[in-house]
Amino acid sequence: MSNILEPLTNTSEIKIYHGDFPIELILLIIIGIIIVPYVAYNIRLLVPYPVNSKLTLSDFYIIVILLTYLIIGGYQQYFWTKKNKLRKEKIIPKTKLDEYVNKIIGINNTWIYIYNFIYYIAFGILVICVRDYKHFATLIIGGIAMLTGLSVIWYLFPNDVESRTKPDNYFIKKTQLIDEDGNNACPSAHVVFAMYLYYIFKNVIGIIPSLFIPILISLSCIATTQHVTTDIILGIIYSILFYNFILKNIFPDVFK
């Protein structure tokens, strides 16, 4: 009996696979689901350009719960391309611009709080921009379309950064348990969706405040060595082209 149980109880041999969430992150998700809808509902009328919406507090909770699980589910495309790719990934080299940025902000794992926490909190605050359930569904479809396009790129042209710093920050260690190295570096999904949020937010909180989202996320990508500037620049270009030439043409009433 002991021989049968030993492999199950030897936790040192347990392997974390892409997409596995440590219990700490599960708890943060639960806390976010409890807090974010209440905060978003109470600040929805304090933004510069309030949305004409009849959504109630309970609607906000419904939307945030749906959004949480749609993000987790949608990102399985991202994790799928980690192991499924047409060829071995190429390394995206650093440039002089990387050296310049690193001189200014350095390599600092504390940026993980922006790279992950502010990034996902921004998705939660997205609900203040939602007019109704159809509008919410369209925003989700837009995000899934963007991720699908990225997945095609990562599958056909797999790539990675040369190296990432060894984590000394508790939360970046947990992040790397979910998202190991290999593929999906360029274009940066973080930057792509930060730009997507910019386009959605700019008509609600204004252009300048909305710009801080992609700017901060881009800097955090470099500071935590998860990406290089090439990933950032191509992520911005991808978002601009996808939003303005695809989403705006398919859903002109939503993506303006």
Which amino acid does the sequence have at 246?
I
Look at residue 10 and tell me if it is in a domain: no
- 183-209 residue pLDDT tens: 788 999 999 999 999 999 999 999 999
**What is d(CA 191, CA 197) in angstroms, rounded to the nearest whole number?**
10
Look at residue 185 and tell me if it is in a domain: yes
Give the range of the structural domain holding residue 90, as residue numbers without chain letter. Answer: 22-250
Backbone angles phi, psi at 161, to 5 degrees: -85, 160
**What is d(CA 215, CA 115) in angstroms, rounded to the nearest whole number?**
11
Look at residue 6 and tell me if it is in a domain: no
**pLDDT grade for 174, boundaries at 50, 70 and 90:** low
Residue recorded with tokens 């359930």:
133
Look at residue 13 and tell me if it is in a domain: no
Q: Which residues contact 23 (CB under 8 A, 6 or more apart)?
A: none
- 123-171 residue pLDDT tens: 988 999 999 999 999 999 999 999 999 999 999 999 999 887 766 666 6
Look at residue 137 and tell me if it is in a domain: yes
Look at residue 9 and tell me if it is in a domain: no
Quote the number of domains for the chain: 1
Look at residue 7 and tell me if it is in a domain: no
Q: Long-range contacts for 3-7 (Cβ within 8 Å, ≥24 apart)?
A: none
- 2-16 residue pLDDT tens: 444 444 344 444 444
Look at residue 163 and tell me if it is in a domain: yes
Q: Which DSSP category does 202 fall into? A: T
